Amino acid sequence: MTDGLATSAPASVNIDVTRNFRPPETDRYDEPYVTDEDTPVTIPLTGYDPDESFDTLTYQIAA
């Protein structure tokens, strides 16, 4: 490296780049889902990866 006046001695360096991964996001569900007893209801689960890593998102439903 030089600043135009002097030249530095060669050196080896390591540079570690750490990505700041953001968690997956989901669409907001503002309205509650209502159904009669013993009547199933379909709730769409949609989400996306804001880092666009193209990883497959999986879902787990907990009651």
pLDDT at 30: 77
Split into its structural domains, the chain has a count of: 1
| Residue from 21, 26, 25 nearest 53 by CA | 21
Phi-psi region of 30 (alpha: psi -120 to 50; beta: other; left: phi over 0): alpha
Range of the domain at 20: 16-63
Rg of the chain taking only CA atoms, in angstroms: 26
In a domain, 58, yes or no: yes
Q: Which two tokens stand for residue 3?
A: 């600043």
Span 5-53, pLDDT tens digits: 888 888 888 887 777 788 888 877 778 888 999 999 888 888 888 887 7
Answer whether residue 3 is part of any domain: no
Q: Is 43 contained in some domain?
A: yes
Q: Is 41 part of a structural domain of the chain?
A: yes
Q: Supply φ then ψ for residue 48, to 5 degrees.
A: -155, 160
